[in-house]
Each structure stands twice: as structure tokens, then as C-alpha cells.
Structure 1
Amino acid sequence: MRPEAGQVLHFSEDPTIELFVPHVAATAREEEPYVWAVGYDRAPDYWFPRQCPRAMAWVREGTSDVDRDRIVGAGCGTRVHAIEYAWWDALRTTKLYGYRLPAGPFRPIGAAGEPHAEVATEPVRPLGPPEPVGDLIACHAAAGIQLRLLDNLWPFWDQVITSTVGFSGIRLANARPRP
């Protein structure tokens, strides 16, 4: 599931949200209250159960051939998402919903040229009822995103963050302890 032109998406396991109100997320680095959403490129970052720790990497301008082959995998596309084995059943069974929101009130947040999200500082009403995202594994397959199952995310993450690939880690505090 991806947003259409003029939209951003908010993903949730709760299908009953009627109004998104700015708040300070427990995991936020920002102190200002926001409504959080994502655009087309970052939507796949949220095709997971909310609490699932994930390490994601993708080829971007400036990614070396060596890092592409080492991190993403030779001939394996341009993006990989890694989770721990303990989360596989939740990934298979979680019912996730996508809320389509008007893009107008939102602005990008994050590094210049590579924002990781869209934020609004005013309440935002969805454009319609939430849509079931469906099979999260199938979403990854249809988008050509490799899913990697690991016993522990940290060795992979440590390689990713010292490479030339683009990356994002979400809910890493929920990962198993470092080996």
C-alpha cells in the first residue's frame, strides 16, 4: 500500500481512528507534537507490526558496488528489510491498516534530501475509512523488497550504518540484546 498523489499515509493496527491529533511520540527525538505520516518512498518502512524491530537498507546515489553486494546482496534488488525470527509470526498475522491523509498540512522531517517522515502540527482527518494493508509479506514481495530473517539484528545493523547504503532502523530497542 502506497499513497496516491496529494496523499500521505499513516499505518496503524487500530482501525477506529477518526482524527489524528498532534502528540509527542514516546520514541520521538522531537519535542514538538506532530501527526506522523509517510510518503511513497518510506511507506514500506511501516509494513510491519508496530512494535517489530527492523533494520532496513537500500541502494542510493553514492552506494558503492561493494556495499550493495555486501549489504543488500548481489542481484537481489535495491532494498532489504531485516527482522528477527521471533517476529516472523507477528509479521504473518498482524492486521495492519493504512489511513490516507491529505498531504497539504504535512511537511517533510529528517535529513535534508532524505526526509524519513511527514509531519503536521494540526489535527488531520483521514480522507476515508482505513484500508486493510493485507499480507505484509506479499507487500514486500510485490515491491521487490527482500525480507531477511536474522537471529539478532545488531551484527547486520552495525554493518549497515558503517556502509554507503541508505538505512533506517525502527523500534531497535525491541530487538534482542547484542550478542
Structure 2
Amino acid sequence: MIAFMRPEPGEVLHFSEDPTIERFVPHVAKTTIMREPYVWAVGHERCPDYWFPRACPRAMAWMGPRSTEEDKTRIIGSGCGDRVHAIEYSWLKALMDVRLFAYRLPADGFEPIGDPPHAVVSTAPVLPLGPPEPVGDLFELHEEAGIQLRVLANLWPFWNEVTASTLEFSGIRLRNARR
């Protein structure tokens, strides 16, 4: 299943809980500070960031070229792979129950965005290469990818440790996390 939820060469993916999208039209996302309308997608490396319900807050950390073994052991753990994702207990049922779909989109016309890049965007409408594909069991997907999945009472202590470390990281929908 793991190869199934990553883009093939010449593709990017868009993850959605809506299986009825026939055409992706650039729009200004409600959750962005950018005012340019885009179609958003991700490449191979950032797909795991979106193996969650859309509104689910998640904190993610992984080894990068400047990461230290000390930070890896302290935050990810010894013998636990090179990546960890964390959610809160209140989102566990949603993670188990969500019906998530992957849309395969042609990579042509998409450009990296962010520094470092965390996604790809297009300013033109995009047609999917085929019907959306069910993503399936998100726990199984994490396991097959060797990504540790943690469930915490509150993301903020973990997030504070991650952002102060040498690990690379991403936080998505953190405004939905407990305060």
C-alpha cells in the first residue's frame, strides 16, 4: 500500500476527504497568510504530512542533514526510525474513522513553495489524472512507512521540544490543538 499513496514520477498528490472533485481551481486557502490563489499538492517526501483528517492538528519531526543523534534519541527515540508524527487523544477516533482520498495530479505546472519547500502549487486549474484513490488505514500507512505515530494529551510540550531541536519539523492545523 505504501507505494500507492506516494506519487509516481511526473505526479504530485492532493489529499482530501471529498471524493467528488473533478477539477482543482486555484483559491486562497482559509488557513494561509498568502493571498495568491493556488492549487496545493505535495511530492513524495511530504505526503505523510497529509495522512490525517484535514482538520487534525499534528506535529511532525524527522532527521535532516543538520540533525544531531542526541536530538533524534531524545525526541524520536533510539531504534524508532527517523520520523515521528504526534496527534492528540481527542483526534484518535477521527484518525481511525476518516475516509481520505488521494488525487494524482500532473506535476507539470506545479512549483515548490516555502523555504524550505513544503508543498507545490499551481496558479492554473488542474485536472486529476484519474479518479481519487482511497488512502485506506492511516495507522497501517504510517507503519509501512516506518513513521512512529504518537498520541499525546497535548501537542504543545512536544512541539516546543521539536522546534527547539536540530530536527526538521512541520506543524499543521496547530490552531486546532488544545491550549
TM-score class, shorter-chain normalisation, is: over 0.9
Deviation per residue, 1:74-94 (Å, 9 max, x gap): 110000000001111110110
Instruction: Quote the Cα distance in structure 2 between the aligned partners of 1:29 and 1:75.
Output: 38
1:1-179 aligned at under 5 Å gives the runs 1-111=5-115, 114-177=116-179
TM-score using structure 2 length: 0.97
Letter matched to residue 153 of structure 1: L
- Secondary structure of 1:154 counterpart: helix
Deviation per residue, 1:128-168 (Å, 9 max, x gap): 00000000110000000000010000000000001000000
Instruction: Quote the Cα distance in structure 2 between the aligned partners of 1:5 and 1:30.
Output: 28
Instruction: Quote the Cα distance in structure 2 between the aligned partners of 1:59 and 1:73.
Output: 11
Percent of residue pairs bearing the same amino acid type: 67
Deviation per residue, 1:55-82 (Å, 9 max, x gap): 0000010101110011111110000000
Instruction: Quote the Cα distance in structure 2 between the aligned partners of 1:68 and 1:55.
Output: 15
Instruction: Quote the Cα distance in structure 2 between the aligned partners of 1:26 and 1:50.
Output: 13
Instruction: Quote the Cα distance in structure 1 between the aligned partners of 2:172 and 2:34.
Output: 15
Letter matched to residue 133 of structure 1: V
Instruction: Quote the Cα distance in structure 2 between the aligned partners of 1:134 and 1:24.
Output: 28
Give the superposed CA RMSD: 0.5
| Shift in Å, 1:42 | 0.1
Deviation per residue, 1:14-42 (Å, 9 max, x gap): 00000000000011121100000000000
- Number of equivalent positions: 175
Instruction: Quote the Cα distance in structure 2 between the aligned partners of 1:26 and 1:102.
Output: 24
Letter matched to residue 54 of structure 2: R
Instruction: Return 5+ residue gaps in structure 1 as ranges.
Output: none
TM-score using structure 1 length: 0.97
More helix by share: 2
Instruction: Return 5+ residue gaps in structure 2 as ranges.
Output: none
